[in-house]
Amino acid sequence: MIRVPVALADQPYEVLVGVGARHRLSAVLPVGAERAAVVTQADIGVAVDPGVEHEVFLLDDGEEAKSLESVEDLCRHFSRWGLTRRDVVVTVGGGVVTDTAGFAAAVYHRGVRVVHVPTTLLGQVDAAIGGKTGVNLPEGKNLVGAFWQPSAVLCDTEVLATLPPREYASGLGEMAKYHFLTGIDLADLPLDERVAECVRIKADLVVADTTEQGDRALLNYGHTLAHALEIAGAHDLRHGEAVAIGLVFAACLARDLGRIDDERVAEHRLVVEGYGLPTTVDGGMDPGALVDLMARDKKAVDGLTFVLDGPRGPEVVPGVEDRHVLTALEQVRA
């Protein structure tokens, strides 16, 4: 079992990575927790035993469950069951579950402890790590949420063997992102070490910038277009697939701004294609509508804002003009 510390000053915790990690749940429950509200989805099919009195609460399937309505429903169920502030919420599922139930834990009784058991590759390398929780609005992804750090995260790589191919590939989009943030080639590592390395990369950024006021924003590389594509309903893209397209788009945009050259753009395409992920978006998408959606991104505090590659590596770049964005969009349209 690989243990990755998340050394936060006020609430350090560990991420356990390896086969059978979910069976360590009772050992990592917060001290004093007498009951556990286990939140999952019907199609997850992964059972856990917290070792204390517990009840299972189901979210609806799909991304549509990531809503304020779901948070209200969970909190009302918690209240009826009698969950108290000294108890714990256990999430079992992908990013929809960890984000939604994590947010419910953050706001119920103004904060109940939470342990994440992510069951997708995307959840294990990204969504469950770092304490960002939230839900979507019709106007954009993750526009309502809170920073709420878990007490522990259990990344059981055994459960990844049952993932549908596109669901597994969705996690590879985040791995491609880490490649460009660090230059580390993750593709040849054994699975457990690959997941653990992604956790280490994210943990280092989270510890240095817990509430995303600085370098933690680099974790959004490729995500500005990705979120716009997801809200626009781009041919049922999975999150990691949208991130993959977003990475290539960001490279094209950086080139148009004179930050990188053709060779670096080609490297982005090569890495993304090497993971078997898409590099172009449906040519029927309305570029103007995508620009409007990107303008609603939570990073856009000073005009259109992107994480873009450059001579010093990826950086947050505010105030990008629409014309550059439209040019880059043309270069990733099928």
Q: What domains can you pick out in the chain, each with its CATH number?
A: 2-168 (3.40.50.1970), 173-331 (1.20.1090.10)
The whole-number pLDDT of residue 25 equals 98
The one catalytic residue among 227, 238, 255, 268:
227
220 catalytic per annotation:
yes
For 120-158, b/e burial (b = at least 16 CB within 10 A) is bbbbbbbbbbbbbbbbbeeebbbeebeebbbbbbbbbbe
132 has catalytic annotation: yes
Active-site annotation holds for 141: no
- How confident is the model at residue 301, as a pLDDT? 67
Is-catalytic flag, 66? no
- Active-site residue, 54 included: no
Per-residue pLDDT of the chain (334 residues; tens, 9 = 90+): 999 999 999 899 999 999 999 999 999 999 999 999 999 999 999 999 999 999 999 999 988 999 999 999 999 999 999 999 999 999 999 999 999 999 999 999 999 999 999 999 999 999 999 999 999 998 888 899 999 999 999 999 999 999 999 999 999 999 999 999 998 889 889 999 999 999 999 999 999 999 888 899 999 999 999 999 988 875 578 999 999 999 999 999 999 999 999 999 999 999 999 999 999 998 778 899 999 999 987 666 678 999 999 999 999 999 999 999 999 999 999 7
- In terms of Cβ atoms closer than 10 Å to its own Cβ (0-12, 13-18, 19+), residue 231 is buried
Is residue 324 among the annotated active site residues? no
323 is catalytic: no
Active-site residue identified among 113, 116, 223, 238: 223
**Sheet of strand 113-118, all strands in order from the earlier edge strand to the far edge:** 2-6, 13-18, 152-156, 113-118, 88-93, 35-41, 53-59
The catalytic residue among 22, 132, 141, 179 is 132
